[in-house]
A and B are shown apart, each in its own frame.
Chain A
Amino acid sequence: MNPGAYITLSALLFSIGAVGVLVRRNAIVVFMSVELMLNACNLALVTFAKQTGDLSGQVAAFFVMVVAAAEVVVGLAIIMSIFRTRRSASVDDASLLKY
């Protein structure tokens, strides 16, 4: 097993997710990109766990999953309530705080 390859894949997935957050304007797709970034971090953590022979990396990945689940629930609820009042899921439309 070559840890460098796994870490490179993780870095690639993370940057693709970052580009998705910057480029997309549908709030749900932006959110999916954030999930992709979290998953990429998890892959790095699990790889480091195997490399160092310490299970703490897997525990950290487990905690990331728990936090991601909670985050998705609240985030999607926010998207739903914004959609209900503004009839739009685009992140450009929710710009009221700017003014």
Chain B
Amino acid sequence: MILFWLLAPLMVLAAIGMVVVRKAVHSALLLAFVMVSLAALYAGLDAPFLFAVQIIVYTGAILMLFLFVLMLVGVDASDSVVETIKGQRLMAVVLGLLFGGLLSIGVAQAVSATVVGLDEANGEGNVPALAQLLFGRYVFAFELTSALLITAALGAMVLAHTERVAPKATQRDLAQARMRDYAEHGAHLGPLPTPGVYARHNAVDTPALLPDGSTAEASVSRSLRARGNVRRAHAGDVDKTAAALDPEAPAADLSERGSGR
């Protein structure tokens, strides 16, 4: 029971956090915590087989699948906070509180406190006893799960497969498209400008500064901008940096000169 009272509050907190947190990746990590804690609870409930399966299948396979899809869909696909139905969130929370109260009061009172325990059922070990049941009494259901798994695998293949409608663009096609863009819209022929690495910060999230002091938007990766991780560069930064590099100017003078202009 010590394990339970240690884990249960943390699990409830992590579950609430999973619902509240904005970014989907954080939700996935909090869900992973809940699942690993559940595995520990299974171990305490005389279910060593389910302990292993919970960690391998849920935390190992299912959550990794979630993370893969999150990466494919894009990390910028976070929730908007705008409510589409007015008062929906409040109603949902009230409903959840009522439902949780009803369940915990009703079910917890209906559950009797007598515990038979699994010592007898687990006599020759949990895994052999479970195997007896799976391949004995529940063998038909077990066979049906194979059909379910095959259907799921086929369904995922069908859903994830896309026909290629246009031939794959070769290097020649790409070069021609680039030249066409240049001829028609005057797009720059060369590669995109490099970010402002080494200019002010030692990172690629700083946009390059153009000679007139404005920032080159194309110099930062699109996914960085979508995540909102781009540092701001201001027009005055050029003067500040130049002042900092000026050997004759005193260091204390820096801020005034930067903001003065």
Contacts and interface: CB of A to CB of B under 8 A. Distances in A.
B31 A73 contact: no
Interface residues of A, number: 71
Contact of A66 (B19, B88, B149): B149
B72 A80 contact: yes
B209 interface: no
A99 B65 CA distance: 33
A76 B61 CA distance: 13
Contacts of A89: 73, 77
B165 interface: no
A97 interface: no
A14 to B, nearest CB: 7
Given A80-B159, A92-B84, A51 B31 contact: no
A28 B111 CA distance: 34
B18 A33 contact: yes
B47 interface: yes
Interface in B172-210: none
Contact of A58 (B34, B47, B84): B47
B118 interface: yes
Contacts of B153: 73
A5 interface: yes
Of residues B15, B28, B112, which shows the largest number of chain A Cβ atoms within 10 Å of its Cβ?
Answer: B15
Interface string B8-29: 1001100110110000100110
Interface of B: 1, 4, 8, 11-12, 15-16, 18-19, 24, 27-28, 31, 34-35, 38, 41-42, 45-47, 49-50, 53-54, 57-58, 61-62, 65-66, 69-70, 72-73, 77-80, 84, 88-89, 92-93, 95-97, 99-100, 103-104, 107-109, 111-118, 120-122, 126, 129-130, 133-134, 137-138, 141, 145, 148-149, 151-153, 155-156, 159-160, 162
